[in-house]
Amino acid sequence: MTKRIQIEGMSCEHCATRVKKMLESLDGVSSAEVSLADKSAVVTLETDVPDRQLRDMVYDAGYDVTAITAQ
């Protein structure tokens, strides 16, 4: 399963890489592809990681989440 996370506040590739690494550090996330242009991350999940946990990780990285949708 994959989820798309809309993220506000990323301003450069450094931000995108930071968000990717933080998301990929979560148990259950097998990969995260972050797009600066789309202001989003698509995470591929091995288990159903709760939206709240994804959101908290992005907040901890220093950015805001406006929406999370399952795909």
Part of the chain binding Cu ion (CB under 5 A), chosen from 10-18, 29-37, 40-48, 54-62: 10-18
Give least dist CB 15 to Cu ion, A. Answer: 3
Number of other residues whose CB lies within 10 A of the CB of residue 45: 17
Please identify which residue in the block is written with the tokens 């999370």.
Answer: 68
3-class SS of residue 27: coil
Part of the chain binding Cu ion (CB under 5 A), chosen from 9-17, 20-28, 31-39, 46-54: 9-17
End-to-end CA gap in the chain? 7
At 16, which amino acid appears? Answer: A
Name which position in 8, 14, 21, 70 contacts Cu ion (CB under 5 A): 14
Distance CA 9, CA 43 (A): 18
Name which position in 2, 6, 15, 39 contacts Cu ion (CB under 5 A): 15
Applying CB under 5 A, the residues found at the interface with Cu ion are 11-12, 14-15
